[in-house]
Structure 1
Amino acid sequence: MKKLVVSVVLGLLPLVAPAQLPKVAAATVAPAGLLQAGPMVGYSEMREVMLWVQTTGPATAQIEYWEAGQPATKWRTAAVRTTPARAYTAHLLANQVQPGRRYTYALYLNGKPFPVAYPLAFQSQALWQWRTDPADFRLALGSCVYVNEPVYDRPGRAYGGEYSIFTAIGQQKPDFMLWLGDNTYLREADWNTRTGISHRYTHSRAVPELQPLLGSVHHYAIWDDHDYGPNDSDRSFAYKDLTLEAFRLFWANPNYGLGAADRRGGITGTFQWNDVQFFLLDDRWFRAPNKYKTAEADYLGQSQLQWLLDALTSSQATFKIVAVGGQVLNPARVFENYSNYEQERAQLLQALSDRNVPGVLFLSGDRHHTELTKLERPGRYPLYDFTASPLTSSAATGATTEANTGRVPGTLVLERNFSTIDVQGPLKERRLVLRTFSAAGKQLWERTITAAELRSE
């Protein structure tokens, strides 16, 4: 495990305008102890890619990149100073990219190259519209990442383990990974201070087995209760502004919130990869306390729900994949399933039916087991909810007796695991291939859902 740094988070990270700089000749390399975590590849668009890195102390970070196989021409991002106020993190914008290209990159710290023992690469998205069919691609997904730290863990058996799962994910060669919440577990000592929150995010991000995956696979994320606040936390959590700051410092999504007029949207956002649009929902910022036990209680909240319905209705994507921390379609009213928020859940499902939005699929985490849930809808195509959990947290076994009447047979997994989705085929015949793997990378099940199956006549 790399050296841990307790730091503070003050304010949000501004976008930094990159600059094309000449290559710096360096006779020496940056000190080995200067890198805390990363580099990580964040969002990808046609004309820019965001990268991220964290240092162990104040430093200047920069990325040099070039088109794969063509090192004669190189570009540099602007140099960004890492500071305690930003948990020693830096977001580095590569904006000299062209659509549909693959790039190799190198990390510079304090103006000197920092040697990394694994490949560093990223890609820009392709300009396929009006030109060709969208390319096939693969995403990895999972949730619930607990990284042990005995001094702050509860006594007894270690809750986290099998960090080699990140190596297994990398072996599947996904184009990007979607983290479905509980991506770190804030502890009692962490919840109420910037120092504690920053320490926990730093500690989880520094797992050695994770670093190669960060370096060459793009990453997008949502949160759930444990990376938002205490267990089962809701909109009343007093320090949610601090965890929002930390989330934005440690991840590199392309957008956050419901727009300039309503910054209260937490981590809500959206992005597109080829012909698939992803909707990243916040199931904590507006959420009413679970103990309300009323049909009227908010889960996503009306402003976020309206944004989602508007965005789904206007989307032209073949598949519209909605990622949310908790299970949406499981009818069992247990733990924090959406079914406990009966009125709002019914509002969402009725609106999807009334507007006849095609191609919707839900992704969820939280439950410490994996399963595929199917909801039949008379006169409309069936909805699916692909739950992927846990990555390194301990698995739960209670789902064996849970009344999920929509569970697709053969998809329940009660061990640490991860999943992938392959988007394949020509535009008019697209299909999703869903797979789940053990922590060691053994395939456990596979199902295919075609675009035609997600359209109503």
Structure 2
Amino acid sequence: MIQRIAFVLLLTMLATPLLAQEDDPLGGASRPNPQMVLKRGGRQYKRNHQFALRLIVLDRLDEAEELLQQLLIADPGDPESHYMLGLLYAQQEKTEQAITEIRRAVVLGLPPGRVLAGPRALISELQENAFFDVLRKSLAGVPLHGPLVGNVTDHSAAFWVRTAEADKVIVTLREQADKAAPLHSAGSLSKADDDFTAVVNVDGLKANTVYSYEVTVGNHPAELTDDSPQFQTFPAPGEASKFKLAFGGGAGFVPPHERMWDTIASYHPLALLLLGDNTYIDDPESVEMQQYTYQRRQSRPEYRRLTGRTAVFTIWDDHDFGTNDCWGGPLVDKPAWKRDKAWKVYKQNWPNPGFGGGPEQPGCYYAFSIGDIDFIMLDCRYYRTTAKIDNPSMLGPVQLKWFEEELLKCHGKFKVICSSVPWDFRTKGDSLDTWNGYKEEREKIFRMIEDNNIPGVVLMSADRHRSDAWKIERAGGYPFYEFNSSRLTNQHVHPTMKKAGAIFSYNAKQSFGLVTFDTTLEDPTVMYEVINIDGERIDGLTVKLSELR
């Protein structure tokens, strides 16, 4: 009897934390704290207009106007300030003043598609204005944002766009080298429920082939020319190949640094991996803030030139999921903003191969391959628990099981595991936000690799505003090399870590990681190079497959 009572008490104790999380409106998540970064007097450009927008959404319009007028005194020619002032006047039903400010923003260089994109809830009062009619006519037949190429394989590709109104979207393409080749075409519909975005999937393509394409909206005919954008399909699964990809994170909106996207394009990567903080939202309960931060980036011509020609794959981190150093908690549907706002808006803005386990198990995790290189992209925020409990989890049990299954299916020469936060414990001092706060779970992952004798594992990550290389020594197997880079466009910078043990560490300018795989060699190699915003090679590291066995 005593043993039975003890057993019941044990079950009750084990169940108590989960029951407490079910009763908690936050579901064990950290409380969003947008006011920590969205505040008056910030020195980062990317935050100024976000703070103004937060005041507008909170109906603190007088404060917002005061802030914007101060910004315009400091920089009268900033189109972003004029645009935000126009949004403010629209909320005050001052239509004439709103149109004047928005028109001025366009004259100063704000892309016209940005105006029509919204956020829609903030421009609803202006939609019938003649100026908006003029903009719609000038952009008839073309997307407001995109095309952005994603989910490329050896035989298919996806094309993401945003349109002015709900409409049909057609992608037409053919082999770039053969103008007599038959045309491929596919279509989809943009919908208001998806913030007027659409993803067009095209299949039946040839492997490792360059295609020219055009995207049209409505009934406008496509015309393929020598100036049409191009993209390249991937090598066939398992095929030995040599290719480059670019990766990074930390992409706050800073107009003088948006040229980074052209710098990346000049290296002609086959793919671009954005590993978190791809935009800085920091207000997960505001759909308008999420839409605004995505749209200002998607409107930039430099970004559109790169992403219209390069296959893009993404995961999120704290600033594009929640707020700084946040954890989402173990539950699927609590807090409510996780699935109904952050995940929904994220899905609307990226054409990834997958989004976790779908609505029943949301997230941003998925896997894909390029030739004989396998990639596993992890979601380090949605199911994360606080690190200050026993046996904390960054991935959650469902994702961890999925990861193990995916890893065992990988047969490529190299297996690249991408995390939005650094793997090496030395990267952020004593912070528990990296894998340093989740040591046991990291050990499970590493032991999983070693127990199954899986060769060729390489780690990639973002989060720290610099570019590093690390080597994690292991007693039970080969060392893990980590390539870390997360200062694509950010002003804010973190100290270099050479003294902490990094192989190299760079923070003098914005930078990205350029990774070259060559599996055509007898001993295949992966080379990681740091390239700064001016296109200069800063440092590099080459690892042979024979070192990863």
Q: Which has the higher helix share?
A: 2
Cα 1:81–1:303 change in 2 (3 A) is closer
Cα 1:349–1:359 change in 2 (3 A) is same
Between the aligned partners of 2:522 and 2:237, the Cα distance in structure 1 is 14
- Structure 1 window deviating more from structure 2 (75-84 vs 353-362): it is 75-84
8 A contact 1:282–1:324 mirrored in 2 = yes
Are 2:286 and 1:193 aligned?
yes
Match of 2:242 among 107, 124, 136: 136
- Match of residue 97 from structure 2: none
- Match of residue 363 from structure 2: 266
List aligned pairs for 1:415-426, cutoff 5 A.
Answer: 415-426=509-520
3-state secondary structure, aligned to 1:209:
helix
8 A contact 1:436–1:445 mirrored in 2 = yes
Between the aligned partners of 1:209 and 1:114, the Cα distance in structure 2 is 23
Cα 1:297–1:234 change in 2 (3 A) is same
8 A contact 2:282–2:324 mirrored in 1 = no
Between the aligned partners of 1:426 and 1:296, the Cα distance in structure 2 is 42
Match of 2:161 among 36, 41, 53: 53
Between the aligned partners of 1:91 and 1:112, the Cα distance in structure 2 is 18
Gaps of 5+ in 2: 1-109, 122-135, 330-334
- Structure 1 window deviating more from structure 2 (344-353 vs 103-112): it is 344-353
Cα 1:326–1:201 change in 2 (3 A) is same
The residue type equivalent to 2:466 in the other structure is H
The residue type equivalent to 2:213 in the other structure is Y
The residue type equivalent to 2:266 in the other structure is Q
- Match of residue 429 from structure 1: 523
- Match of residue 366 from structure 1: 463
- Structure 1 window deviating more from structure 2 (45-54 vs 276-285): it is 45-54
Deviation at 1:335, TM superposition (A): 5.6
- Match of residue 181 from structure 1: 276
Deviation at 1:428, TM superposition (A): 4.1
8 A contact 1:321–1:363 mirrored in 2 = yes
- Match of residue 121 from structure 1: 230
Match of 1:328 among 392, 415, 423: 423
Between the aligned partners of 2:266 and 2:227, the Cα distance in structure 1 is 13
8 A contact 2:170–2:188 mirrored in 1 = yes
Between the aligned partners of 1:77 and 1:199, the Cα distance in structure 2 is 31
Are 2:301 and 1:208 aligned?
yes
Cα 1:294–1:109 change in 2 (3 A) is same
Between the aligned partners of 1:265 and 1:254, the Cα distance in structure 2 is 14
Note the aligned Cα RMSD (angstroms). 2.6
3-state secondary structure, aligned to 1:296:
coil
8 A contact 2:282–2:321 mirrored in 1 = no
3-state secondary structure, aligned to 1:99:
coil
- Match of residue 252 from structure 1: 351
Between the aligned partners of 2:120 and 2:319, the Cα distance in structure 1 is 19
Match of 2:310 among 213, 217, 222: 217
- Match of residue 14 from structure 1: none
List aligned pairs for 1:327-346, cutoff 5 A.
Answer: 327-331=422-426, 332-334=429-431, 336-346=433-443
- Match of residue 238 from structure 1: 336
3-state secondary structure, aligned to 2:404:
helix
8 A contact 2:464–2:494 mirrored in 1 = no
3-state secondary structure, aligned to 2:323:
coil
Q: TM-score, normalised by structure 1?
A: 0.83
Are 2:101 and 1:6 aligned?
no
Deviations 1:379-406 (A, max 9, x none): 42110111111111124233449x743x
- Match of residue 21 from structure 1: none
8 A contact 1:325–1:364 mirrored in 2 = yes
Deviations 1:255-294 (A, max 9, x none): 2214x7x83240110000011000010001110135xx23
List aligned pairs for 1:157-176, cutoff 5 A.
Answer: 161-176=256-271
Larger Rg: 2
The residue type equivalent to 2:250 in the other structure is C
Q: Which has the higher strand share?
A: 1
Match of 1:313 among 401, 408, 415: 408
3-state secondary structure, aligned to 1:320:
strand
Are 2:543 and 1:445 aligned?
no
- Structure 1 window deviating more from structure 2 (111-120 vs 431-440): it is 111-120
- Structure 1 window deviating more from structure 2 (336-345 vs 210-219): it is 336-345
- Match of residue 157 from structure 1: none
Deviation at 1:124, TM superposition (A): 2.3
Cα 1:314–1:187 change in 2 (3 A) is closer
3-state secondary structure, aligned to 1:436:
strand
Deviation at 1:352, TM superposition (A): 2.5
Cα 1:310–1:95 change in 2 (3 A) is closer
Deviation at 1:233, TM superposition (A): 2.3
Between the aligned partners of 2:222 and 2:282, the Cα distance in structure 1 is 33
Deviations 1:66-110 (A, max 9, x none): 111323344353332323211121111111312332211012122
3-state secondary structure, aligned to 2:151:
strand
Deviations 1:321-351 (A, max 9, x none): 0111100123343261111122222222233
Between the aligned partners of 2:277 and 2:507, the Cα distance in structure 1 is 18
8 A contact 2:190–2:198 mirrored in 1 = yes
8 A contact 2:236–2:370 mirrored in 1 = no
Between the aligned partners of 1:330 and 1:397, the Cα distance in structure 2 is 16
- Match of residue 279 from structure 1: 376
8 A contact 1:119–1:215 mirrored in 2 = no
Between the aligned partners of 1:81 and 1:265, the Cα distance in structure 2 is 23
3-state secondary structure, aligned to 1:352:
helix
The residue type equivalent to 2:337 in the other structure is Y
Number of paired residues? 413
Between the aligned partners of 2:420 and 2:256, the Cα distance in structure 1 is 21
Identity %: 23
Deviation at 1:41, TM superposition (A): 1.0
8 A contact 1:330–1:404 mirrored in 2 = no
